[in-house]
Amino acid sequence: MSDEKKVRAALIIIGNEILSGRTQDANLQHLAKELNGVGVTLSEARVIPDVEAMIVGAVNELRATYDYVFTTGGIGPTHDDITAECVAKAFGLPLIRNAEAQALMEAHYAKTGRELNEARLRMANTPEGAALVKNPISTAPGFRVENVYVLAGVPMVMQAMLEGLKPELVGGKMTLSRAVASYIGEGNMAAGLSGIQDKYSALDIGSYPFYKAGNRFGTTIVLRHTDDSLLEQAVQEVADLMRSLGGEPEFQDMSDG
Amino acid sequence: MSDEKKVRAALIIIGNEILSGRTQDANLQHLAKELNGVGVTLSEARVIPDVEAMIVGAVNELRATYDYVFTTGGIGPTHDDITAECVAKAFGLPLIRNAEAQALMEAHYAKTGRELNEARLRMANTPEGAALVKNPISTAPGFRVENVYVLAGVPMVMQAMLEGLKPELVGGKMTLSRAVASYIGEGNMAAGLSGIQDKYSALDIGSYPFYKAGNRFGTTIVLRHTDDSLLEQAVQEVADLMRSLGGEPEFQDMSDG
């Protein structure tokens, strides 16, 4: 709904460990909420393995489609960390040893007394002309080429990188959301809700069933748009619909997105 | 690595609530582990919004690429549940009221005494010729067209559907995995590990840094292949590498994938 005026982003989650089920991704949800806070809508995400053709393909398809692309994972020092070279290939740029990144890492390793070996120096490789994304946790930086941000996969590091780059992002109007729930089944809400969606066609209205202990089930309706007064009108109509079906609407705090 | 002989699957997670960050996806990890148990490798996943063009596009692209495609989400009774009609469009099939699904739902609603209204009957719509996927939790079925399985988004229902359809899946050899960890940094493991990967080029060897309280960090190495004896050889070489660097290898239970 009126998606075309939004500033939109895609996320590419790179890592065999997510696809094997070994690791539960935690970056999508965090990125979605943080982007929403600066007026950027996460519109698509892909989870792909550490395979060059897939990384290059996804980067090129998504950077042509969305305002911003974020990648997570695959920028460590080991053989399976191939994101930087794949992003360079996607842009047709040479992969170089980034002098600024190398200087940051030399300073860090001199201070900690650990060895800055060739494997660790691979983490200073970026596509030529890339801008660095600071890593206040473990120093080895991410980077940006045009509209593609390359971030770490470890959530603590990814989150710190994102916090640092957020001021660079140029978002649109922030999408606001309201939610209202009651113990009325989705199937009983559906007809009336469809009428409200038709009336407020610009709103993104989602319906989510829930189950609670004691075999109680109900529905949460989430309404999203940039215009708070329009949201307020529509959420009151949803609440009225719930009351007309015998429910007691409960307005939920949507600070969580 | 030797991915071409595997039976491979893709997952399409359909739902604005995942992309907004409101809901944390729980289906990818569960599907990955269950598929692995029957010799099917989850090779890609996409998270897309409730938008027809995106659902049709993803279904058509991925069903041509992978042995199996699973979708989760968007099969409820409300206006934002458009997965069934989108899958019908992807296959160029009419969307019909599936008589078998309708009969199941009529029996269920007769028993519970709840109203089987038109909105709920929408959940009996499938592409023409689809086979049903049973839903032992809340009756409204999923379905399969060719190699595409359409499942519920609510994890409890999705898991029950998957459990029922698993016997239909024709997998390859099961991918086995072994993991070994020590308090040696990734950067110190990298050179030796790269040599082991070169020697055992058929193995999928992943390196994952970890941090623990007290500023202790280390690396978990995960090795994956169908051949257990090859895995055993390689995991011992990784353990020897850890010892040569002053680490104490700890072999981890990989029952979690």
pLDDT 10s digits, A57-92 = 999 999 999 999 999 999 999 999 999 999 999 999
Domain edges within chain B:
3-168, 176-252
Q: How far is A8 from chain B (nearest CA, A)?
A: 11
Same fold, A3-168 and A176-252: no
Q: A–B: how many Cβ contacts below 8 A? A: 197
C-alpha A12/C-alpha A46 separation (Å) is 5
Q: What is the value of pTM for the model shown?
A: 0.95
What is the three-class DSSP state of A30?
helix
Q: How large a percentage of chain B has pLDDT more than 70?
A: 96
In this predicted structure, what is the pLDDT of residue B257?
A: 41
C-alpha A73/C-alpha B71 separation (Å) is 24
First to last CA, chain B: 18
Greatest Cα pair distance, chain B, in angstroms, is 69
Coarse DSSP helix, strand, coil percentages of chain A, rounded to the nearest 5 percent: 40, 25, 30
Distances (CA, A) of B27 to B12, B50, B125, B152, B176: 10, 17, 23, 10, 21
C-alpha A11/C-alpha B36 separation (Å) is 25
First to last CA, chain A: 18
pLDDT at A5 over 90: no
In this predicted structure, what is the pLDDT of residue A213?
A: 80
C-alpha B134/C-alpha B101 separation (Å) is 9
Closest-CA residue of chain B to A201? B79
Length of chain B: 257
What is the three-class DSSP state of B166?
helix
CB A6 within 8 A of CB A175: yes
Contact criterion met (CB < 8 Å) for A47 and B28: yes
C-alpha B141/C-alpha A194 separation (Å) is 22
pLDDT digits (tens, 9 = 90+) for B177-235: 999 999 999 999 999 999 999 999 999 999 999 988 877 889 999 999 999 999 999 99
pLDDT at A29 over 50: yes
Q: Which CATH number fits domain B3-168: 3.50.50.60, 1.10.3720.10, 3.90.1300.10, 3.40.980.10?
A: 3.40.980.10
C-alpha B47/C-alpha B33 separation (Å) is 18
Contact criterion met (CB < 8 Å) for B189 and A49: no
B208 CB contacts (<8 Å, ≥6 apart)?
A: A17, A23, B219, B220, B221, B222
- B contact test, residue of A25, A40, A78, A83 with most B CBs within 10 A: A78
pLDDT digits (tens, 9 = 90+) for B231-245: 999 999 999 999 999
**Helices (H) and strands (E) in chain A — how many of each?**
9, 12
pLDDT at A254 over 90: no
For Cα atoms B54, A61, A53, give the angle at the middle one, nearest 5 degrees: 115
In terms of Cβ atoms closer than 10 Å to its own Cβ (0-12, 13-18, 19+), residue A248 is exposed
CB count within 10 Å of CB A109 equals 17
In this predicted structure, what is the pLDDT of residue B254?
A: 61
pLDDT digits (tens, 9 = 90+) for A220-231: 999 999 999 999
Closest-CA residue of chain A to B178? A22
User: B3: which DSSP letter?
Assistant: G
Would you identify the CATH topology of the domain A176-252?
Answer: Alpha-Beta Plaits (3.30.70)
For Cα atoms B78, B80, B82, give the angle at the middle one, nearest 5 degrees: 100
Q: How far is A213 from chain B (nearest CA, A)?
A: 14
In this predicted structure, what is the pLDDT of residue B103?
A: 98
Instruction: Return residues 11-70 of B near A (CB < 8 Å).
Output: 15-25, 28-33, 36, 41-51, 54
A52 CB contacts (<8 Å, ≥6 apart)?
A: A82, A85, A86, A89
- Whether A195 and chain B come into contact, CB under 8 Å, resolves to no
CB A202 within 8 A of CB A218: no
Q: Looking at residues B153-161, what average pLDDT do you find?
A: 97
Q: Which helix (H) or strand (E) holds B86?
A: helix B83-91
Per-residue pLDDT band at B108 (split at 50, 70, 90): very high
C-alpha A137/C-alpha B45 separation (Å) is 29
Of A216, A88, A221, whose CA–CA distance to A143 is shortest? Answer: A88
Structure tokens at A128: 């030529």
Of B86, B40, B44, B93, whose CA–CA distance to B64 is shortest? Answer: B44
B43, B49, B193 ranked by CB distance to A19: nearest: B43
Q: How far is B146 from chain A (nearest CA, A)?
A: 23
C-alpha A193/C-alpha B78 separation (Å) is 8
